[in-house]
């Protein structure tokens, strides 16, 4: 492929992924409201369009038309920059998550990932560590005590859980012997999914992912009964919507990471034995990735509407005294496995 | 102009401008924000030099971890007296300018006037691929395994020290 073709294909992939992300995020909100209603034996939004299917559009128009209020004591520039950082981090992380194997079409081999870089997993970690700033700045620049407390809580929480997240990824990297997400998926061929091989690492990563995305039971940064809305108390209109979008985009990324690192990515076990034409096989595998993604997202929603919130000291205790030692244990377990079977 | 040159000028420019903004802003939180941007553009420069691991480590460690703690402290303490630091002690300003000028002249001399030896040029030509993560990992666990382990012990000692300081009384 010439450089021009590579650039063209990459741009096409970026456009497709960005629009798909925006679409999925808005329907994830709808999905969450319907699922929560179903779990709590209510109806949920069902008025706009058939079964409320147009609800996301109605919500977005409502938010666009609302007045944008900036508090008097706020630092105006930072107050505006914070939601932009949140959206930037949330949407650019997806660049390294592969959603399918190589697509062979008209003599072209297109890898189904925007950027196949050899430090992919570190790139994800770097961007999530930058995501802390959005919340910290939002909390500080609002000039409100609730926001500041929410922002500080969240940075403490995200830093604490980043550690067990990083160590759980360490186990995966030991197996894959690479930091490339594609190589990690390929190392889990057949039923050698990391969730089965290293269940402790899977659980610690899952819990840390919940904490990193500020989802219940770890949503202390915005705990409504204590902090009104936490870091986004003073945000309204589209700026609030930007934080909302970023939260759901982060959920999709967390789910994508869980699928890539622990659930075998796009792979369907033993599909190559069936001898299907390569295009069909590729499309089936992309479908498998989407199916796994939706399953994990449903799990996220299910947990949110089933478990109560932790207290702050419980949150820190779980992070440092349970999850961190468990993720270290997982690394030792993986090292022993590699010693025995290599 | 090659792409590398254009990118180096862009990232270098951002780096220099944000570095200036860090020391000229009065509000420490804004300074911290520009320092983060500065670290990010430095990471961009490392990427151009083919040192991906250092670039990412720069963002994870400096921008992601250390600066968050800095911000934490700044936000919690809200240092008002620091804003008037220079107007109270003007002699520190002169002292700072002299030291920075000496360092600046040293750097300019090293870059433009000093003649690098043949040996050095050969060595630096070899190090083009030294920044990839595979290369760094191999070097760390073969040639530099002793300093690597020593750094590990140092970190362990620091962790234990932090525990001792944080724990108020021993039972």
Query: What does the pLDDT look like over A88-142, one tens digit per residue?
Result: 888 888 888 888 787 777 667 777 777 777 788 888 888 888 888 888 888 888 8
What is residue B146's predicted lDDT score, i.e. its pLDDT?
A: 93
Contact yes or no for A122 and B56 at CB 8 A: yes
Which residues, in sequence order, are CB contacts of A181 under 8 Å at separation 6+?
A96, A97, A98, A113, A116, A120, A121, A260, A265
pLDDT at A17 over 80: yes
What is residue A134's predicted lDDT score, i.e. its pLDDT?
A: 85
CATH level 2 (architecture), domain B1-82? Up-down Bundle (1.20)
Chain A residues closer than 8 Å to B64 by CB = 125-126, 129-130, 132, 162
Query: What does the pLDDT look like over A297-319, one tens digit per residue?
Result: 889 888 888 888 888 888 888 88
For chain B, 171 residues long, give each residue's pLDDT as a single digit of tens.
677 888 889 999 999 999 999 888 877 888 888 998 999 899 989 888 888 888 888 888 888 888 888 888 887 777 676 666 666 777 888 888 899 999 999 988 888 877 777 777 777 777 777 777 888 888 888 888 999 999 999 999 998 998 888 877 665
pLDDT at A336 over 80: yes
Please give the full DSSP string across B97-162, using - where no structure is assigned: HHHHHHHHHHHHIIIIIS---HHHHHHHHHGGGTTSHHHHHHHHHTTTHHHHHHHHHHHHHHHHHH
Query: What does the pLDDT look like over A137-171, one tens digit per residue?
Result: 888 888 777 888 888 888 788 888 888 888 888 88
Question: In which element (H, E) is residue A111 found?
Answer: strand A108-111
Contact yes or no for B56 and A155 at CB 8 A: no
Query: What does the pLDDT look like over A160-204, one tens digit per residue?
Result: 888 888 888 888 888 888 888 888 888 887 778 888 888 888 999
Nearest CA-CA distance, residue A321 and chain B, Å:
14
Residues B95-134: b if buried by 16+ CB within 10 A, e if exposed: eeeeeeeeeeeeeeeeeeeeeeeeeeeeeeeeeeeebbbe
Residue carrying the six token digits 């995305």: A213
**pLDDT > 70 fraction of chain A, expressed in percent and rounded:** 96
A328 and chain B in contact, CB less than 8 A = no
Q: Where are the domains of chain B?
A: 1-82, 85-130, 132-171
Nearest to B29 among A129, A130, A140 (CB): A140
Q: What is the largest CA-CA distance in chain A?
A: 66
pLDDT mean across residues, chain A: 83
| A positions 75-134 inside 8 Å of B (CB) | 75, 78, 117-119, 122-123, 125-126, 129-130, 132-133
- With a threshold of 0.90, does the pTM exceed it? no
Contact yes or no for A133 and B36 at CB 8 A: yes
What is residue A1's predicted lDDT score, i.e. its pLDDT?
A: 65
Structural tokens at position A332: 């030792």
What is residue A147's predicted lDDT score, i.e. its pLDDT?
A: 82
Chain A residues closer than 8 Å to B54 by CB = none
What is residue B1's predicted lDDT score, i.e. its pLDDT?
A: 65
Q: What are the C-alpha distances in Å from A274 to residues A109, A189, A280?
A: 22, 15, 11
Contact yes or no for A78 and B52 at CB 8 A: no
What is residue B38's predicted lDDT score, i.e. its pLDDT?
A: 92
Q: Compute the C-alpha angle A43/A24/A245, nearest 5°.
A: 90
What is residue A72's predicted lDDT score, i.e. its pLDDT?
A: 80
Please compute the mean of the pLDDT values over residues A213-222 and round it to a whole number. 74
Nearest CA-CA distance, residue A78 and chain B, Å:
8
Q: What is the interface pTM, i.e. ipTM, of the complex?
A: 0.78
Chain B residues closer than 8 Å to A136 by CB = 68, 71-72, 75
Contact yes or no for B56 and A159 at CB 8 A: no
Residue B132 vs residue A11, higher pLDDT: A11
pLDDT at A260 over 70: yes
What is residue B158's predicted lDDT score, i.e. its pLDDT?
A: 93
How many A×B Cβ pairs under 8 Å?
67
Contact A173, A121 (CB under 8 A): yes
What is residue B149's predicted lDDT score, i.e. its pLDDT?
A: 93
Nearest to A130 among B27, B59, B76 (CB): B59
Nearest to B75 among A122, A125, A152 (CB): A152
What is residue A225's predicted lDDT score, i.e. its pLDDT?
A: 67
Cis before A217? omega within 30:
yes
Residue carrying the six token digits 């959206």: A87
- For residue B47, the chain A residue with the least C-alpha distance is A119
Instruction: Catalogue the long-range contacts made by A188-191 (C-beta closer than 8 Å, 24 or more residues apart).
Output: A188/A264, A188/A265, A188/A267, A189/A264, A189/A267, A189/A269, A190/A269, A190/A270, A191/A269
DSSP-assigned beta bridge partners for residue A109: A104
| A positions 187-246 inside 8 Å of B (CB) | none
- For residue A81, the chain B residue with the least C-alpha distance is B33
Which of A79, A126, A152, A173 is most worth mutating to test chain B (most B CB atoms within 10 A of its CB)?
A: A126
pLDDT at A3 over 90: no
What is residue B15's predicted lDDT score, i.e. its pLDDT?
A: 92
Distance CA A182, CA A262 (A): 13
**pLDDT > 90 fraction of chain A, expressed in percent and rounded:** 2
């Amino acid at each position: 492929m010439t450089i021009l073709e590579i650039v063209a294909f990459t741009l096409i992939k970026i456009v497709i992924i960005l629009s798909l992300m925006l679409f999925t995020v808005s329907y994830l909100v709808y999905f969450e409201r319907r699922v929560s209603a179903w779990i709590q034996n209510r109806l949920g939004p069902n008025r706009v369009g058939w079964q409320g299917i147009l609800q996301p559009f109605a919500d977005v128009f409502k938010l666009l038309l609302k007045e944008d209020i900036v508090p008097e004591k706020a630092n105006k520039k930072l107050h505006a920059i914070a939601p932009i950082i949140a959206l930037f981090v949330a949407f650019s992380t997806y660049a390294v998550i592969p959603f399918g194997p190589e697509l062979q079409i008209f003599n072209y081999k297109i890898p189904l990932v925007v950027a196949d870089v050899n430090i992919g997993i570190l790139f994800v970690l770097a961007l999530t560590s930058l995501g802390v700033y959005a919340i910290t700045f939002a909390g500080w620049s609002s000039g409100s005590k609730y926001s500041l407390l929410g922002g500080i809580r969240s940075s403490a929480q995200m830093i604490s859980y980043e550690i067990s997240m990083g160590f759980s990824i360490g186990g995966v990297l030991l197996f894959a012997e690479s930091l490339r997400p594609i190589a990690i998926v390929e190392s889990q061929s057949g039923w050698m999914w990391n969730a089965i091989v290293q269940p402790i690492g899977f659980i610690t990563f899952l819990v840390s992912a919940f904490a990193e995305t500020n989802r219940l039971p770890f949503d202390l940064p915005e705990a409504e009964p204590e902090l009104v809305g936490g870091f986004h108390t003073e945000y309204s209109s589209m700026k609030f919507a930007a934080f909302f979008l970023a939260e759901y985009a982060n959920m999709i990324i967390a789910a994508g990471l869980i699928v890539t690192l622990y659930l075998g990515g796009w792979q369907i076990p033993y599909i190559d034995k069936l001898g299907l034409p390569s295009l069909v096989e590729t499309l089936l595998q992309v479908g498998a990735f989407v199916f796994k993604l939706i399953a994990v997202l449903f799990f996220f929603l299910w947990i949110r509407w089933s478990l109560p919130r932790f207290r702050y000291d419980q949150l820190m205790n779980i992070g440092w005294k349970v999850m961190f030692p468990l993720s270290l244990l997982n690394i030792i377990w993986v090292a022993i496995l590699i010693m025995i079977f290599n | 102009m090659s792409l590398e040159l254009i990118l180096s000028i862009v990232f270098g420019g951002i780096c220099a401008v944000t570095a200036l903004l860090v020391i000229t802003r009065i509000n420490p939180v804004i300074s911290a924000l520009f320092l983060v941007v500065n670290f990010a553009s430095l990471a961009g420069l490392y990427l151009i030099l083919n040192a991906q691991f250092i670039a990412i480590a720069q963002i994870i460690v400096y921008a992601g971890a250390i600066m968050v703690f800095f911000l934490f402290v700044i936000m919690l303490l809200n240092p008002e007296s620091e804003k008037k630091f220079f107007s109270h002690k003007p002699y520190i300003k002169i002292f700072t300018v002299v030291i920075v000028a000496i360092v600046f002249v040293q750097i300019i001399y090293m870059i433009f006037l000093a003649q690098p030896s043949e040996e050095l040029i050969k060595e630096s030509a070899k190090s083009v691929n030294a920044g990839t993560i595979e290369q760094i990992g191999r070097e760390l666990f073969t040639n530099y395994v002793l300093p690597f382990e020593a750094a590990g012990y140092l970190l362990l000692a620091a962790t234990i020290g932090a525990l001792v300081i944080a724990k108020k009384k021993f039972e």
